[in-house]
């Protein structure tokens, strides 16, 4: 209890939930990229993920809790941080000693959270409607078409692209920072930073590529 | 010689509202230290019958940690690895406007003008920043205990913290993690400190939280602005120590 109630404990939970979401993001990307190469494979994996009881009733609730926890704790910490300096400086050169991304995690986080709302509206709500409201028959081949259909709208592709820029910024600081928070700052830190840079560039660009690919090949 | 415009935070006491006041300084020597420039300003203010600007200072050689100004948006000014007393006017140009504010944090309330109450740091130290020793005359000489050079060097680096509060002042969250982690680390790395390690880290972090400092978000600004170059590695070490101590109970 002492651990969770303390500033270090809260920081630790933010780091662990962030690392968990990075793992989720990686598997999400690995599945989505198959849509570029094979419609059949994408449909097979999506059907498995959408109907496997372990995924649906164990992993999915854990994921939802992880997301809810990460952004709720993010807002709680930000509020506490605002209160810790009641009188602001007249002149404050934040950029002189810390990168913009590290000082604006709340901003990139809010953009990602907003995007998440749109993303759930696009994919999760129709899926819930299909399975539990309208209770339509199982169709293992519908996923690819649904994906392509979502990326027909150029405005939506634009919003997704912008959101992934902010995701890249969030990851750029958050990934390596998580290791510092759990107490790892040693000879491997440089390697972790390199992996962070690569991950924060490759994965968001990969997601943008998937959206653009389906947008351009849909016609 | 330089002519400067100074914008300085003036606040009569802890409860007063306070505001920025503008003063003109003529013929400032680039060889002056920043605090000597402030001394000259105060002489001029006294001559004019104006209350001099209150600011903290003591050793004026960068080891006491008393000077605490936030100069042009940075703790201890634009130079690196120096305290305000080690900052020289040659870092500024003729015609510059210099903004001077007190260190800002809820846990560092302003006493008057540029002086702030940093006794929250004292209370954190009192919560565990020490090693209990038997002073009956049978105390073992600390130098008789062999310590690996790597650990001794790291402990010494951490012990170089002068507790000035620049880390808190510069952190966008007003977090005291760098200070507390330096104090935890300097003992955690030495055999003498391991006996009380669990209570030390739990009590010091608990006191830090009670004082109202913000949360660390790993921006690294504290490390850059620290006049003694205290490393973020100490914060990671404190996180480990705290996690281990919490699980140990």
Domain boundaries of chain A, sorted by first residue: 2-80+99-217
pLDDT band at A4 (very low <50, low <70, confident <90, very high): confident
Cβ–Cβ contact B101 with A under 8 A? yes
pLDDT at B133: 84
pLDDT at B142: 81
Cβ–Cβ contact A19 with B under 8 A? no
Residues B72, B75, B76, CA angle at the centre, nearest 5°? 90
pLDDT at A108: 98
Can you list the residues of chain B whose pLDDT is less than 70?
Answer: none
Q: Could you tell me how many helices (H) and strands (E) chain B has, helices first?
A: 9, 7
Count of CA atoms in the C-beta half-sphere (13 A) of A164: 23
Cα A193 to chain center, whole Å? Answer: 19
Query: Is B232 exposed, middle or buried, given 0-12, 13-18 or 19+ CB atoms closer than 10 A?
Result: buried
Å between B135 CA and nearest CA of chain A:
33
Å between A189 CA and nearest CA of chain B:
10
**Distance between CA atoms of A209 and B3, rounded to whole angstroms?**
57
Nearest CB neighbour to A91, from listed B72, B174, B219: B72
Q: In what order do the strands lie in the sheet containing B2-10?
A: B19-28, B2-10, B97-102, B69-71, B74-75
pLDDT at A8: 97
Å between B35 CA and nearest CA of chain A:
20
pLDDT at A17: 98
**Distance between CA atoms of B158 and A164, rounded to whole angstroms?**
40
Q: Within B81-164, where are the H helices?
A: 119-128, 149-159
Q: Within B144-196, where are the H helices?
A: 149-159, 166-170, 177-188, 191-194
**Distance between CA atoms of A51 and B83, rounded to whole angstroms?**
63
CB B104 within 8 A of CB B121: no
Global pTM? 0.95
pLDDT at B217: 97
In chain A, residues with a C-beta closer than 8 Å to the C-beta of B206 are 2, 6
pLDDT at A175: 98
pLDDT at B165: 98
pLDDT over 90 (residue A219): no
Query: Is B146 exposed, middle or buried, given 0-12, 13-18 or 19+ CB atoms closer than 10 A?
Result: exposed
Dihedral sign for Cα atoms in the order B183, B188, B192, B196? positive
ipTM: 0.94
Query: Could you read off the pLDDT of A168-187 as tens digits, one per residue?
Result: 999 999 999 999 999 999 99
pLDDT over 90 (residue A2): no
Å between A108 CA and nearest CA of chain B:
14
Domains of chain B are 2-112 (3.10.20.30), 118-248 (1.10.1060.10)
Give the B window 155-214 contacts with A, CB below 8 Å: 170, 172-175, 177, 202, 205-206, 208-209, 212-214
Query: Could you read off the pLDDT of A130-172 as tens digits, one per residue?
Result: 999 999 999 999 999 999 999 999 999 999 999 999 999 999 9
Query: Could you read off the pLDDT of B236-245 as tens digits, one per residue?
Result: 999 999 999 9
Give the A window 81-100 contacts with B, CB below 8 Å: 81, 83-94, 96-99
The correct CATH number of A2-80+99-217 out of 1.20.1300.10, 1.10.540.10, 3.30.40.230, 1.10.3720.10 is 1.20.1300.10
Nearest CB neighbour to B246, from listed A3, A89, A181: A3
Question: Which chain B residue has the Cα nearest residue A189?
Answer: B233
């Amino acid at each position: 209890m002492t651990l969770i109630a303390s500033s270090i404990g809260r920081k630790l939970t933010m780091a662990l939930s962030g690392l968990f979401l990075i793992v989720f993001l990686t598997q999400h990307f690995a599945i989505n990229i198959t849509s570029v190469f094979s419609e059949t494979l994408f449909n097979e994996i999506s059907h498995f993920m959408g109907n496997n009881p372990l995924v649906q009733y164990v992993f999915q609730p854990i994921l939802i809790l992880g997301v809810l926890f990460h952004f709720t704790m993010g807002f709680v910490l930000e509020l506490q941080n605002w209160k810790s300096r009641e009188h602001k400086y007249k002149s404050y050169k934040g950029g002189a000693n810390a990168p913009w991304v590290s000082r604006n995690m709340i901003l990139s986080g809010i953009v990602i959270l907003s995007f998440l709302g749109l993303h759930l509206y696009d994919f999760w709500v129709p899926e819930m409607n299909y399975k539990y409201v309208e209770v339509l028959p199982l169709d293992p081949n519908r996923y690819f078409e649904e994906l392509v259909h979502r990326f027909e709208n150029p405005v939506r592709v634009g919003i997704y692209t912008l959101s992934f820029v902010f995701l890249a910024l969030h990851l750029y600081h958050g990934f390596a920072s998580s290791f510092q928070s759990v107490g790892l700052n040693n000879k491997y830190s440089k390697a972790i930073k390199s992996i962070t840079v690569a991950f924060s560039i490759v994965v968001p660009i990969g997601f943008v590529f998937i959206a653009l690919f389906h947008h351009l090949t849909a016609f | 010689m330089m002519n400067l415009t100074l914008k300085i935070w003036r606040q009569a006491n802890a409860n007063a509202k306070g505001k920025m006041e503008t003063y003109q300084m003529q013929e400032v020597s680039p060889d002056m230290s920043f605090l000597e420039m402030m001394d000259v300003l105060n002489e001029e203010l006294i001559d004019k019958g104006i209350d001099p600007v209150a600011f903290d200072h003591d050793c004026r050689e960068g080891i006491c940690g008393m000077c605490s100004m936030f100069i042009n948006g940075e703790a201890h000014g634009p130079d690196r690895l120096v305290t305000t007393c080690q900052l020289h006017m040659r870092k500024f140009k003729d015609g510059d406007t210099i903004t001077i504010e007190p260190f800002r944090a809820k846990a560092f309330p302003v006493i008057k003008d540029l002086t702030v109450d940093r006794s929250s740091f004292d209370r954190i130290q009192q919560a565990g920043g020490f090693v209990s020793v038997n002073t009956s005359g049978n105390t073992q000489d600390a130098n008789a205990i062999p310590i690996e050079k790597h650990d001794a060097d790291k402990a010494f680096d951490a012990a170089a913290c002068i507790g000035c509060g620049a880390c808190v002042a510069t952190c966008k969250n007003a977090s005291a993690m760098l200070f507390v982690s330096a104090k935890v680390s300097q003992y955690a790395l030495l055999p003498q400190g391991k006996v009380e390690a669990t209570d030390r880290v739990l009590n010091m972090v608990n006191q830090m939280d009670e004082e109202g400092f913000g949360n660390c978000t790993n921006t690294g600004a504290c490390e850059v602005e620290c006049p003694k170059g205290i490393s973020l590695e100490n914060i990671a070490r404190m996180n480990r120590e705290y996690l281990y101590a919490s699980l140990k109970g």
